[in-house]
A and B are shown apart, each in its own frame.
Chain A
Amino acid sequence: MAEVSLHKLNKKFDTTHVVKDVDLQIRDKEFMVFVGPSGCGKTTTLRMIAGLESVTAGEIRIDDKVVNEVPPMDRDIAMVFQNYALYPHMSVASNLAFGLKMRKFEKAEIEKRINNAAAILGIENLLQRKPRQLSGGQRQRVALGRAIVRDPKVFLFDEPLSNLDAKLRVQMRVELKKLHERLAVTSVYVTHDQVEAMTLGDRVVVMKDGVVQQVGEPLELYNTPANRFVAGFIGSPAMNFADVTLAENGGRPVAEAPGLRIGLPGELATRARARSGHKATLGIRPEDIHVATAADAPEYCFEAAVEVVEQLGSEILLDMRAGPALMVASVDPTLRVRAHDKLKLALKPERLHLFDAETEAAI
């Protein structure tokens, strides 16, 4: 059993407050991803869990034991670093064996674990090489191997795929997922890439400026973001935002901006009516906008002028201007459209989001 819990965790560097009141429960065998822009505090939080940074306030527990004062080597954790941190003067085998040697394991046991890990990762033929003779992907595997042989309670990953080229990154993502399914060890993974977060995480923590924005399963974050930041961070291409005012038009709540008027459906309408007259931000994802057909209700349609057409083959991204707002729509790749065309577009009403203009929280 390996649960990690963070209770009112805070970290200050001199006067800079980088991690603010983080509360989190990571379940046994869960793959928890911390995601957010640079400087949001995710790496610092990871390093506090590892014991590489001291805790200013709050508690970290591993399996119900408070580990704030416990040094890294006694926390039964293993870490994979962004730059791999392989010992350059040792062979791959020695790199893998190092942690076990430090803990005075028997030679036979060390051999067994190394061979086991090497087999899982497909690096048996690299055991006698030095790190400088390996490619980026191979080094990454060795770094993973070093963590695996330790058989720890918790795996910690510090942006391990950031240094790999795009293609390799995709490959390694899949391998990591398979690895987790196979080994089933509680893992804490830090990344700035929301694609990695969505694909790898059992649950995802979005952080900004040291504060947890939202915790939940990937799809939860995608469908029901708690605030504007999460909505804009998760999903690619990013969600479209327009500054609107909530008003009533013929008795029905609408979101208005110069040159734009969008109706609001069901539940959202009820909540909007309560805030009539206030400013808000309207959100709609590019993939939820399509070219209007006769079947689309007029209150969910709008006019836009196409500025740039990006033909990707699998879809077309249209950069458009609707009123004062710039929007991106992902439409059917067979559409015939050129720059400067004027289009009528419709959006899926159930996919609309509203965020309070001041608090940025979801309405």
Chain B
Amino acid sequence: MAVTAVSGSAARPIPRLRRLEDERWLAMALLAPTAILLGLFIAYPFFEGVLLSLSSARVGDPGHFVGLKNFHKIWDDSIFRTTVWNTFWYTGVTTVFKLALGLWLAILLNRHFRGKAIIRAFILLPFIIPTVLSTFAWKWMFDPTFSVINWTLFQLGFITQRINWLGDPDLAMTSIIVINIWRGVPFFAITLLAGLQTISPELHEAAAIDGARPWARFWHVTWPLLMPVTLVVVLFSVIQTFADFQLVYVMTGGGPANATHLFATYAYQLGIGTGLLSEGAAISLAMFPFLFIIVVVQLLYIRRVETR
């Protein structure tokens, strides 16, 4: 009441502006641009994607409704099964390593030393630089004929035959896992470092006086207190990795022999490469239930940890 009295005694506000005082109107106005963009380019395509996956569309042929036929088809597709396995394996292994190495790096950075700010800035480069570009550098490093890694191992006497990083199915998967870890460790390290810095050093000192050696201090004090941040970071990372495309597209395109296909690359190959739009859409959509479950489980776990 006082506010309107004050503004009333000054210049008379236009009726339209007075409406902005009403919080609901203001909120709607503020959220409108976001709602439009997200509605138009996420909700609408999602809906269209569902319809597409339930049709028999091809490039140039809108097709007709076929129900769940596409899903039956991919379920029987051995390549699809390999893809599912690949994606889970890829996501699982990389996440574990990213967490362990990122945590280790965060602990190393959690002290005072000269040049800390510069090192911290440089460490983020793998995460900042466009993935495609840095992946090409790795591809060059892994190229079976010209690999500098092979050269180093050869010089050190570890190998006499070349290692066919990208031609052998298992090695190819290992290669992309390595690159993904390389790219993700900085993200984990920097965010976990911030989490570590919220833990008061006095707690470690008290634990030291209480008789805890370094590993016990980590396990009983650092790890539990870091849990909330860890879970959120893992959640972000899992979503990203599960839906990964660029890395595999550049390195192997999904081969050799479909050994490195992920949901995204297989969907691309079928949908855009071969023009089987509806089946590609079905594969893309197949990601959704898995993502949904993973996220819900993690969110529940986060809530449980925070209210413990």
Contact = CB atoms under 8 A, between A and B. Distances in A.
Interface of A: 50-52, 71-73, 77-79, 81, 83, 85, 87-89, 98-99, 102-103, 146, 150
A71 B207 contact: no
B229 to A, nearest CB: 13
Contacts of B210: 73, 98-99, 102, 146, 150
Given A98-B210, A98-B220, A81 B202 contact: yes
A151 to B, nearest CB: 13
Contacts of B209: 50-52, 72-73, 77-79, 99
B202 A83 contact: yes
Interface stretch (B24-32, B66-74, B211-219, B273-281): B211-219
A85 B205 contact: yes
B128 interface: no
Contact of A83 (B200, B208, B225, B308): B200
16 contacts: A52-B205, A52-B208, A52-B209, A73-B210, A73-B213, A77-B209, A78-B209, A79-B206, A81-B206, A85-B205, A87-B206, A87-B207, A88-B225, A98-B207, A102-B211, A146-B206
B50 interface: no
Nearest to B199: A88
Nearest to A104: B211
Nearest to A147: B209
A73 B212 contact: yes
B203 interface: yes
Interface string B246-287: 000000000000000000000000000000000000000000
Contacts, number: 57
A52 B205 CA distance: 7
A136 B280 CA distance: 61
A81 B205 contact: yes
B105 interface: no
Contacts of A89: 224-225, 308
B221 interface: yes
Contact of A73 (B202, B208, B220, B225): B208
Contacts of A72: 205, 208-209
Interface string B182-215: 0000000000000000001011011111111100
B53 to A, nearest CB: 45
Interface of B: 200, 202-203, 205-213, 216, 220-221, 224-225, 308
Contacts of B200: 83, 85
8 nearest CB pairs, A to B: A99-B210, A102-B211, A85-B206, A85-B202, A73-B211, A89-B224, A72-B209, A103-B211
A40 to B, nearest CB: 21
Contacts of A87: 203, 206-207, 220-221
A85 B225 CA distance: 13
A136 B203 CA distance: 17
A250 to B, nearest CB: 63
A150 B308 CA distance: 27
A79 B202 CA distance: 11
A81 B207 CA distance: 12
B200 to A, nearest CB: 7
A242 B69 CA distance: 101
Contacts of A51: 208-209
A102 B205 contact: no
Contacts of B207: 87, 98, 102
A88 B203 CA distance: 9
A73 B221 CA distance: 16
A351 to B, nearest CB: 43
A89 to B, nearest CB: 5
A99 B225 contact: no
A161 to B, nearest CB: 16
A90 B214 CA distance: 19
A6 to B, nearest CB: 19
A47 to B, nearest CB: 8
A83 B220 CA distance: 19
A329 B205 CA distance: 46
Contacts of A85: 200, 202-203, 205-206
A51 B207 CA distance: 13
Contact of A71 (B206, B208, B220, B225): B208
Contacts of A52: 205, 208-209
A81 to B, nearest CB: 5
Nearest to B205: A52
B227 to A, nearest CB: 8
Contacts of A103: 211
Nearest to A130: B308
A105 B208 CA distance: 17
Contacts of B221: 87
A99 B211 contact: yes
Nearest to A89: B224
A155 to B, nearest CB: 11
Nearest to B210: A99
A88 B306 CA distance: 12
Contacts of B211: 73, 99, 102-103
Contacts of A77: 209
Contacts of B224: 89
B35 to A, nearest CB: 38
A29 B209 CA distance: 20
Nearest to A156: B209
Nearest to A143: B206
A81 B221 CA distance: 16
A141 to B, nearest CB: 15
Contacts of B225: 88-89
Contacts of B205: 50, 52, 72, 79, 81, 85
Nearest to B308: A89
Given A87-B207, A102-B210, A150-B210, 17 more contacts: A51-B208, A52-B205, A73-B211, A73-B213, A79-B205, A79-B209, A81-B205, A83-B200, A85-B202, A89-B224, A98-B210, A98-B212, A98-B220, A102-B207, A102-B211, A103-B211, A146-B210
